[in-house]
Structure 1
Amino acid sequence: MAILNINYLIISFFLFLCFINTGDSIQCWYCNSRNDPKCADPFDNSTINMKNCAFEQSLSHYPKVKATMCRKIRQKVHGEWRYFRDCAYLGEPGIGGDERYCLMRTGSYNIFVEICTCVGKDGCNSAVSLQIHALILILIIGNIFAKLI
């Protein structure tokens, strides 16, 4: 009987851990295609790290604004494409909140800029990102412990 209660306690503890809110932070890919060609599209994150935007320093000209989103910037200057991926301080995710759309701007002297801002999930400033849902994690842990009982 005591072993059964310990198993329930362990299962309850792991379920509790699944629902802990870690705060409003997002992890974003951080790279520049000038330094790493894998940063360009198609994006190859095999050598690129993510960074937690919650640890980003405030900008001197916006001291109270925190980085809460991810951003991918694609720009063409004088015929050369560059890609930047980083945390974002300002902006709106997508256009009208729809992250499938990016803001595009053109200028004189053959300049084109596309800015994609997102907040939907960690690593959303890439083409593909994998994410395990808490419910799947609960089912896996529950299945493991059910076999132990």
Structure 2
Amino acid sequence: MKAVEKCILGAVMLCCLLQTAQAIKCWDCRSDSDPKCGDPFDNSTLAITDCQQAPELEHLKGVRPTMCRKIRQKVHGEWRYFRSCAYMGEPGIEGDERYCLMRTGSYNIFMEYCTCNSKDGCNGAGVPHLGLFSVLGGTLFAVLVAQLLRQ
């Protein structure tokens, strides 16, 4: 493969990666004002929010949301759920979205923070899992790109 073709292939792959990292859509609701926001989650009456359109936060100048967040909070025995775009943090724990950060406090307070960026609406009801076809497709794509780069 010629150097020009390698550069074009690399640029196309970079654009694909940047597109998925920059434009995520998340559910945005609170269970204290909308009971459908809780678990089980019912998004039938909610519109998904484009995080690129989310306002800049006054205390985080220049920081844009790149992930989705779901917060589950228990205060004095009552569960509350918050779903929104996330401005800071990392997906899951050490990049694994199957795990959430949990905190407990005094006065019977429990909080669970789940962040994700694997797909639009990933802060919905379930924890995202990769299917067998997704893993096989990604592996096949990687092998194909490696073969093209070796030529």
Fold shared per TM-score above 0.5: yes
The 5-angstrom pairing of residues 61-100 of structure 1 reads 61-100=59-98
TM normalised by structure 1 equals 0.70
- Aligned alpha-carbon RMSD (Å): 1.9
Report the residue type matching 2:115 in the other structure: T
Q: Deviations over 1:30-58 (max 9, x none)?
A: 11001111110111111111100001111
Distance 2:55 2:27 in 1: 17
Q: In the alignment, which residue of structure 1 is the partner of 2:106?
A: 108
TM normalised by structure 2 equals 0.69
How much identity, in percent, do the aligned residues show? Answer: 64
Structure 2: 5+ residue stretches without partners = 1-14, 129-133, 138-151
SS in 1 for 2:52: helix
Report the residue type matching 2:78 in the other structure: E
Q: In the alignment, which residue of structure 2 is the partner of 1:25?
A: 23
The structure 1 segments of at least 4 consecutive aligned residues displaced by more than 3 Å after TM superposition are 20-23
Distance 1:108 1:92 in 2: 26
Distance 1:127 1:83 in 2: 11
Distance 1:79 1:127 in 2: 21
Report the residue type matching 1:113 in the other structure: M
Distance 2:30 2:125 in 1: 15
**1:127 Cα shift?**
2.1
**1:26 Cα shift?**
0.3
Structure 1: 5+ residue stretches without partners = 1-19, 136-149
Most deviating of 88-97 and 41-50: 41-50
SS in 1 for 2:44: helix
In the alignment, which of 31, 40, 43 is matched to residue 41 of structure 2?
43
